[in-house]
Amino acid sequence: MEYKARFKRWNAVLAMILIAATLAACGGGGAQPAPAADSGGDAASGGEAAAEAAAPQDTSGMTAAEMAARNIPRGKTLVFSRETNTITGVDTLNPYGLGGLGLVRDTLNKTIYEFLFYYNHNSGEITPWLATGYEYNDDFTEITITLRDGIEWSDGTPFTAADVEYTFQTVRETPTLVFSAQLQEWVEDVEVVDDLTFKIYLNKPNPRWVFIFLAENSEVNLAILPKHIWEGSDPETYLNGELEKGWPRGTVPYRLASVRQTQLVYDLRTDWWAAKTGFAELPKVERMIRIPGGDAAAITRLFAEGSVDFGGALQKGDFEAARGRNPNLISWHNEGPTWGTADACTYILGLNTAVYPLDNRDVRWAINHAIDRQQIVTLAYENSTVPFVLPLSSFGGVLQYADQVQDIVDKYNPDDPDLGKVEELMTGAGFTKDAEGFWVDDDGQRVVLNISTTGGRRPIGPPLAEQLRAAGFDAIHRHDETGQVVNGIRDGTEHAWIDPHCGAASEPFPTFSHFHSKFSAPVGESTGFRWANSRYENPEYDALIDAMEAMSPSPDDAEYIELFRQAVDIWLQDMPEIVLAEERHVWTYNTACWTGWPNVDDPYIAPYDLWGAFMLAILKLEPTGAC
């Protein structure tokens, strides 16, 4: 049986490779997987001639079928994948429906929707795009935003402030849509001043609102919907992916030309508003194909074979193995072991503080002292990242704040694996050990920790579970590929999990706000936000976060820093979640066909900004002429 299972897995991997290789040919262009570095490039499909091909064929007025029928060579095609076996949501493509954020990150931000602003996590720079700028009033309760003149939807209809008003009001007034709760909390009203100007009236002061909802890219960044297409439809069930109607309509220079569960094909629109107005030149990429990559092993093989140009992140060992076969692969850094870079997230052991015995902070601290972070970093990620204890990344902007609380971190010293302290805390909390050496309460019930992981967090599970078992906790690691764990984390049926915790991209408030009691909920009810699932409640902490929220952050503002210091002190004292390490994904790019990917030598965006600011990358990519 084991042999049959292994045989089936390899068949699945090989099938994915064959699919990708077929797609890489892109409509009959005959291109093979990327040539080896010493092949000279010309053997694949014409060398320099491919880069000097004629201008893109005029696609204005073409139907989706006509666009898809064109023969676009591999040298003008970008192939990318995600870690899935099929492509879901292909009929709806609704950025605010169930799983909408995943759809936006997956393809919609690359091929349909542009954003009002883009953000570079490396530099902290906000780039106006569909908008030209914004201005707050004195108390941060009103925001005036101006739009760029000449923007058009893909059918030629002008993009105006009415589209923004329609989007915000529709999402806010439809509770089942993604980000509805956030807009209900924050947006009182949206006023159209004229076609290129609108005002957002907030329910309470928020100097971060534009950054969080319209610029930050990786977590939210609200996509604007075409009012003239969506109005009058049910936004919950709207089928945004009906190609025969010319949908979905966006402002990006691509149109969806072909849809299957095994691939999405997007073709360049030569009538893109930015090219017509002179704001930007047409991208060199004439076709983008999104394919399912399969599991991590299958995606690694696709990169090794040169069948994809971009496909997200690999584990360090997988990247190095694939790069050994395909020297065209690059990541953020040019050398290891830390190929990746910070991404505003940390790896955490999430704890449901609303359930026994995790509602006891002494138990949470005992679990913390059972953990050897450096050993986890070594075993799980081959020293490609570093241990962390606060939910903050190592961005330069964030470090200006983190440096000002180091004395508080030193006082609590959370990175301290010490079985003696585990014993002291657990016995002090009334627990004893049973005959097998596991902690039990007065009723003889063991402290059981079923630790769930998804995706790239899987390597942390086994060593962490072993460390906890060695300290007397009955810990078991369970990996889930279905995504159901995320639902359990949100509704409280999961008690312990390993996940990223993201938010602090420029200052500490976003992540620390996730421990505000407004995100708490009874077990069985959703917390309503992806990263706020500890169910932690502390009124004193809430008051500090509320005060920080109303202030414009600055590392030089003594009042703001004092609030932050007090919040960190309470957070470390109560330990509502356990931070393990910084998340540093090895985002991987294949330079055989395309160059211009962001990296440490050209940090025009951060690698994970491709979730939101992919348009900036598309405009930078240049064909090599080797495909």
Start-end ranges of CATH 3.10.105.10 in the chain? 345-582
**Per-residue model confidence (pLDDT) at position 24:** 41
**d(C-alpha 78, C-alpha 588), whole Å:** 14
Our measurement of the distance from residue 229's CA atom to the centroid of its chain's CA atoms, rounded to an integer in Å, reads: 28
pLDDT > 70: what percent of the chain?
88
Nearest residue to 525 (alpha-carbon basis) of 516, 535, 512? 535
Our separate counts of H helices and E strands in the chain read 24, 22
Given this structure, which CATH class describes domain 2-33+40-87+261-338+586-623?
A: alpha beta
- Of 93-102, 220-229, 405-414, 569-578, the range with the lowest mean pLDDT is 93-102
Q: What is the mean pLDDT of residues 370-376?
A: 98
Could you tell me which residues come within 8 angstroms of residue 183 by beta carbon, excluding any fewer than 6 positions away? 168, 171, 172
Give one DSSP letter per residue of 564-600, joined into a string. HHHHHHHHHHH-SSEEEEE---EEEEETTTEE---BT
Nearest residue to 241 (alpha-carbon basis) of 227, 222, 261? 261
Q: What is the mean pLDDT of residues 213-240?
A: 84
Q: What is the mean pLDDT of residues 560-573?
A: 98
DSSP H stretches of helix in 267-337 = 273-277, 296-305, 316-325
**Per-residue model confidence (pLDDT) at position 218:** 65
pLDDT > 90: what percent of the chain?
66
CB atoms within 10 A of CB 138: 7
The structure tokens listed for 350 are: 């999430």
Which amino acid is it at 512? F
**Per-residue model confidence (pLDDT) at position 27:** 37
Q: What is the mean pLDDT of residues 245-267?
A: 86
The structure tokens listed for 624 are: 């090599």
The answer on pLDDT for 157 being more than 50 is yes
- Of 191-205, 255-269, 346-360, the range with the lowest mean pLDDT is 255-269
**Per-residue model confidence (pLDDT) at position 508:** 94
pLDDT digit string (tens) for 71-103?
Answer: 999 999 999 997 777 776 677 778 887 666 667
Taking the model in full, what pTM does it have? 0.82
Helix, strand, coil share (%) of the chain residues, nearest 5: 35, 20, 45
pLDDT digit string (tens) for 120-141?
Answer: 888 888 999 999 999 999 999 9
Start-end ranges of CATH 3.40.190.10 in the chain? 2-33+40-87+261-338+586-623
pLDDT digit string (tens) for 290-341?
Answer: 998 888 899 999 999 999 999 878 999 999 999 999 999 999 999 999 999 8
Given this structure, which CATH class describes domain 345-582?
A: alpha beta
- Residue where the block lists tokens 């995790």: 358
Nearest residue to 199 (alpha-carbon basis) of 272, 244, 141, 151? 141
**d(C-alpha 300, C-alpha 317), whole Å:** 10
| CATH code given to domain 117-230 | 3.90.76.10
Antiparallel, parallel or unpaired: β 345-351 and 496-502? antiparallel
Start-end ranges of CATH 3.90.76.10 in the chain? 117-230
List Cα–Cα distances, 292 to 23, 53, 195, in angstroms. 11, 29, 40
Orientation of helix 419-428 relative to helix 361-369, angle to 10°? 160
CB atoms within 10 A of CB 21: 17
Confidence of residue 235 (pLDDT cuts 50, 70, 90): confident
Could you tell me which residues come within 8 angstroms of residue 73 by beta carbon, excluding any fewer than 6 positions away? 26, 29, 30, 31, 45, 50, 53, 627
